[in-house]
Amino acid sequence: MSVNLKNNEVGIFALGGLEEIGKNMYGVQFQDEIILMDCGVLFPEDELLGIDYVINDFSYVLENRSKVKALVISHGHEDHIGGIPFFLQQMNVPIYADPLASALIRNKLKERGLLRDAQITEYNEDTVIKFRKMSVSFYRTTHSIPEAYGIVVNTPPGNIVFTGDYKFDFTPVGEPANLHRMAKLGDEGVLVMMGDSTNSEVPNFTMSERVVGESINDIIQSVDGRVIFATFASNVSRLQQVVETAIKTDRKIAVFGRSMENAIETGRELGYIDDHGQDVFINNRELNRYPAGEMIILCTGSQGEPMAALSRIANGTHRQIAIQPEDTVIFSSSPIPGNTSSVNRVINQLTDTGARVVHGRLNNIHTSGHGSQQEQLLMMRLLKPKFFVPVHGEYRMLRIQAKMAQETGIPEDHTFVMQNGDMLAVTKDYARLAGHFKAGDVYVDGSGIGDVGNVVLRDRKILSEDGLVIVTATIDYENKQLVSGPDIMSRGFIYMRESGDLINDMQAALKAAINRGLNESGNNVNERLIRDVVFDTIKPFLYERTERKPMILPVLLDINKGVRDRKSK
């Protein structure tokens, strides 16, 4: 399906962020101008074997690159900025971000050698970015990272408001949300509200970050031994709470994990992390100079990431830190969907080594940065939009928030639960779906962007579940003879030393089948034919004997190939 936008209509679309938690990237299009908002990643679930990140398919904006005027960032979390390096590798556009997000983005781009050509401009709440037909302004919200903003795109038909991630925290750590500006926007008129729906299933209000700080302080004060504190590196407000507690309890902080070190450095440079001149932070090499009861180890790994500092501490492979019997490990986060099993594995490892583990919302050591139902209703009442589009959430979350919008008086036919790639066309008088474009997932692993497709993932899944069988044989195709082999090797399928009978029977079956293929093929014998013989023989044989379907890799050596190659020269 293609997109059909009329000249008087403003288009609203998502490349990612609908029916998923992550990969947020939204767009507003009017005639020959496109404003993009956020460019995040989605962290892979367990079945995406070997995948580091899932990013958006940028095809639509690449096809319309001449129209793209800016990429505007709402705040500095990974699901909103993590995709920027991959996007800039394909298309360089001006980026507008708050100072903290700008610093985090620059760190990412510097690591990948992309910083030199990047165009990054910092904004604040009073900034207005003007283009020929549209303009962009901002209002401050409260989230789990400082400098989180809602984005207002002013278009000829009216204001499009993207709330970004928000909650109404009336006792925040840091600057409060600007409720007056939200109400003023509502009075001026909001054509479309694109609302964060992450916590639309959660009733009432989200707990204040300050309550979390009090809980952290109470827990650490009650601990006699060493504290290992794991949280998101980007949760700068939470990191400052740990610093405040360290000051109150006369503890020092050692920081481990590259992303955590970068976050602390950036937060201190911008004033969001402040130890009030108490010299709280120490060099990692000084860790053992202090008694255990005077230390907090601040680290990455709250999501069970295999290479993060906490995972290496838990499995005993960290170079500097080993679990001590009196250690208390605090998980100040909740698992991202897909990470629950990884987090539980790390918790079990830590518990097994003798540490006390504190985790979960029952201990009030984590709170969401997203508003619950009452906060979402409050945002709708403040902005009073004519049309409503729920964003940033799984399908059921989008549906629930659309229903909530209707309860505030927005007509059902003015609410649109969309999919990534849908185009909503809006004027002052109506809104309609105006087509669809391709907006799927792109997988990123160590080999680069987009090199991993469904076939590769299927092969990885087979390898992880059923293993690999390698069949090696040397063949004289000209004389139709099996010179040596077939030899069998197994990886992840059977234990060779204890499977002698199975291997011997497999070799006998393959030897007979290969000889039969060579003798019955006439003058058409070639490697492809013998490969098919190997597959057709070994697959049913192994399934009958083991009820498993390992990946089969034939390695067929042509004894005459070297001779032919020399003659051709």
pLDDT at 38: 97
H or E element, residue 539: helix 527-546
pLDDT at 522: 67
Q: How far is CA 425 from its chain centroid?
A: 29
pLDDT at 461: 59
Distance CA 339, CA 350 (A): 17
pLDDT at 334: 74
Q: What is the DSSP string of 424-438?
A: EEE-SS-EEEEEE--
Active-site entry in 75, 77, 366, 370: 370
pLDDT at 550: 82
Contact 174, 237 (CB under 8 A): yes
pLDDT at 513: 84
pLDDT at 363: 61
CA-nearest of 432, 431, 369 to 146 is: 369
| pTM of the predicted protein model | 0.78
Distance of CA 144 to CAs 1, 210, 320, 343, Å?
A: 39, 11, 30, 21
Active-site entry in 79, 98, 196, 422: 196
DSSP state at residue 532: H
Specify whether 196 is catalytic.
Answer: yes
Specify whether 565 is catalytic.
Answer: no
pLDDT < 50 regions, the chain: 447, 450, 457, 563-569
Structure tokens at 2: 């293609």
Helix 258-270 and helix 99-111: axis angle, to 10°?
140
pLDDT, one tens digit per residue, over 402-435 is 999 999 999 999 999 999 999 999 999 999 999 9
